[in-house]
Chains A and B, each alone.
Chain A
Amino acid sequence: DGGITQSPKYLFRKEGQNVTLSCEQNLNHDAMYWYRQDPGQGLRLIYYSQIVNDFQKGDIAEGYSVSREKKESFPLTVTSAQKNPTAFYLCASSPLGRSSGANVLTFGAGSRLTVL
């Protein structure tokens, strides 16, 4: 079945450590996204990419980094510069263009990061 796989589901990090969250999709979607979700808040965009080897900052990119070396993969690194990294992270993908599914986000199951 096609879908998006995020790993790990739960992750614990000590302060000062970088961690990388994995996101893989087999939907052949061009665009991929990372969102952060905090309690009582909606989803906030961290980074997005519409093509391999290119990505753009979202609204809260500070303290995060991404890469897009393959169409299927869009890993997110939470660096030690991120001051409040404890959150639920959601990866999503979508087709682009004028198809009926264009801009419809398909989400992974999420990764819960806790800083100890």
Chain B
Amino acid sequence: AQTVTQSQPEMSVQEAETVTLSCTYDTSESNYYLFWYKQPPSRQMILVIRQEAYKQQNATENRFSVNFQKAAKSFSLKISDSQLGDTAMYFCAQGAQKLVFGQGTRLTINP
């Protein structure tokens, strides 16, 4: 069975700091994808970053980057130069044809 675990229910950092959100997963699939989604107070789910499991190179999107450790089944998200607009729930997700989501990390960026 697929499982995704986010061990940090809440995190809080100061604006401009760097923060890392943790995610571990378990799967028997050989080909799969990993995602980080953001859900701001509007509750609209927004894709942050995507990683293909067969690619060793870590994905980056501007201030967002991941540390993908396939053997350890770990997929952490690093947010550099954090901004007030980064305040949101962050969900890690894993899968191929269907995605399994973690329980989320509530991130607050303080001015």
Contacts from A to B (Cβ < 8 Å) = 31, 33, 35, 40-45, 48, 50, 58, 88, 90, 92, 96, 103-107, 109-110
With A50-B97, A105-B99 as contacts: A42 and B4 at CB distance below 8 Å: yes
State the main secondary structure of chain A at its contact with B: strand
Binding stretch for chain A, among B12-20, B44-52, B63-71: B44-52
Q: CA–CA, A41 to B6, complex, Å?
A: 11
CB B66 to nearest CB in A, in angstroms, measures 15
Asked if residues A45 and B100 are in contact (CB atoms below 8 Å), the reply is: yes
A residues near B91, Cβ cutoff 8 Å? 42-43
Name the 7 nearest CB pairs between A and B, nearest first: A107-B45, A42-B101, A43-B101, A42-B103, A103-B33, A42-B102, A110-B43
B99's nearest neighbour on chain A, judged by CB, is: A105
Query: A104 near B45 (CB under 8 angstroms)?
Result: no
B11 within 8 A of A: no
A-side contacts of B93, CB under 8 Å: 43
Residues of B close to A96: CB separation below 8 A: 97
Greatest chain A CB density within 10 A among B35, B45, B95, B97 is at B45
Across the interface, do A45 and B104 meet the contact criterion of CB distance under 8 Å?
A: no
